[in-house]
Amino acid sequence: MTIAVCGSLTFYKEIREAQKKLEALGHRALVPKSIRLIEEEGYIKPKTVSERLAAEAKYHFISEHFAKVEQSDAILVVNPENHGIPGYIGGNTFLEIGVAFYLKKKIYFLYVIPHMAYELELASMYPTVLDGDLSAI
């Protein structure tokens, strides 16, 4: 199965680890372009809105990862705790989940559905929560 791996850049190490585990299980795992940029070029996640807009204009992160979601059979959301929220899902990841749902892709969350402002919307997309076990895919 081809799986697009989604998650906050804060979790880039966990995303790379998930990619390796998925591939060891026989899946093809597509990760965000930003992971390679972080590892090979020292890319740092922008902090201001203007820096983020400039990075998006240069690298097209959002549309490129949407294309990976479209090419996949499923998505895996890597969502460990962040900002004191178990199962944290940020804005871009929320968008990617919405695209996957619209395209009728299977949606997996590595961890729990977070208690956040858009918890209902996340639950309404019926993700499968893996409780950290990638072999359950």
H/E element holding 92? helix 91-102
- As for how many domains the chain has, the answer is 1
Q: Position of tokens 């559905």?
A: 113
pLDDT, tens digit, for every residue of 63-92?
A: 899 999 999 999 999 999 999 999 999 999
pLDDT, tens digit, for every residue of 81-123?
A: 999 999 999 999 999 999 999 999 999 999 999 999 999 999 9
Domain that holds residue 60: 2-136
0.85 cut: is pTM over it? yes
CATH of the domain at 57: 3.40.50.450
DSSP code per residue over 13-64: HHHHHHHHHHHHTT-EEE--HHHHHHHHH------SHHHHHHHHHHH-HHHH
The pLDDT assigned to 45 comes to 79
